[in-house]
Amino acid sequence: MNISIIIPVYNAAKFIERCVKSLFEQKEHGFNLEIILCNDGSSDNSLEILKKLETEHQEIKVYDNENQGVYKTRNFALTKVTGDYIWFLDSDDYIFPDALQLVQKKLRNDYPDILNFGYVRENTNGTSTVVFPPKNENIIDGITFLENNDGRLYLWNNIYNAKFIAQNKLSFLAKSVSLEDSLFNLNAFSNASTVKYLDSSLYCYCYNENSISKTKSLDHLMKLGQSSINVHGETQKLKNTYAKSTRAYNVLNLRLEHSVLGFFYSLLVEKYPQDYIKMVFAKYKKYEILPLNTKTANFKIKVLQTMVNRQWPFLFVCSMYKILKK
């Protein structure tokens, strides 16, 4: 069985060797490895390190492209894979020594569309949180997975069947700086007939204070906002491919509305201009994402949802919050 590991690399000179090293420190696993390292126009010495690694390991293929962003880079890498399964890794993270061994054991009898597993997440205070999937030996469908998922849809704690990816023409929207991992997974899981859990932590998500997701400048906030608009618009389109009475429609609608509320909360507490917030309201009404209809027993969420659905109370609270925050 062959597995393709895709790792986009942008200014990752401090971390990429640790990531790659973790792949070659695996216990005996029986996979044929293909490691695709895509340099995304790094301005540090990442490319030099990648080329050095390529000379040391025949499993590694290095591609050097102009900077185009992580999602276009992943789309490019998807055109190069030859493996039976695909695993997306981030260059500043790593996998645990028994990861491939456990994956191979789980896949050798079944060939699910997606294999989901646990991970360790480093926290800002130096501690770590271990996240396990449900203890379930059964193969389930993707909609059932989304119904039971805690809302976090990362790429790196899933391994995807390459034929499933190709048959469903799955790729990244490649218009945003964030959130497209979640959109990719909503498309993937909504199409998946077979999803299997592996009740082990295989991946370490490392805290990186320089990560793009930690940036708080106004320019970056505007890019994050546009990412939310892009992803929510595409999720609305995906949801509407199903009839309103179907389970898939209801599950995707719930996921969409929770994400939309999260975005509007960020519009409230971050330094987004009032005119920008008005523009967001106009677009979400045009896309027919608003009003939100999800019923909730949580009082705070209910209040936020009520304000978002009426717009002017939300805009008033936004303006007051920003005045008080000064």
CATH of the domain at 86: 3.90.550.10
Read off φ and ψ for residue 195, nearest 5 degrees. -125, 135
Same domain for 127 and 220?
no
pLDDT, mean of residues 259-265: 97
Same domain for 116 and 180?
yes
State yes or no: pLDDT of 232 exceeds 60: yes
Same domain for 191 and 295?
no
Same domain for 157 and 242?
no
Same domain for 57 and 186?
yes
For residue range 181-191, what is the model confidence (pLDDT) as tens digits?
A: 999 999 999 99
pLDDT, mean of residues 313-324: 92
Entry pTM: 0.95
Same domain for 242 and 152?
no
Longest C-alpha distance within the chain, in Å? 61
Between 325 and 251, the more confident residue is: 251
Domain span including residue 195: 2-205
* CA-to-CA dists, residue 151 to 89, 115, 154, 252, 274, angstroms: 20, 17, 10, 11, 29
pLDDT of residue 110: 87
pLDDT, mean of residues 124-149: 94
Count of domains observed in the chain: 2
Question: CA 201 to CA 157: how far, in whole Å?
Answer: 9
Same domain for 298 and 321?
yes
Question: CA 8 to CA 238: how far, in whole Å?
Answer: 26
Same domain for 52 and 108?
yes
High-pLDDT (> 70) share of the chain, %: 98
pLDDT, mean of residues 224-250: 97
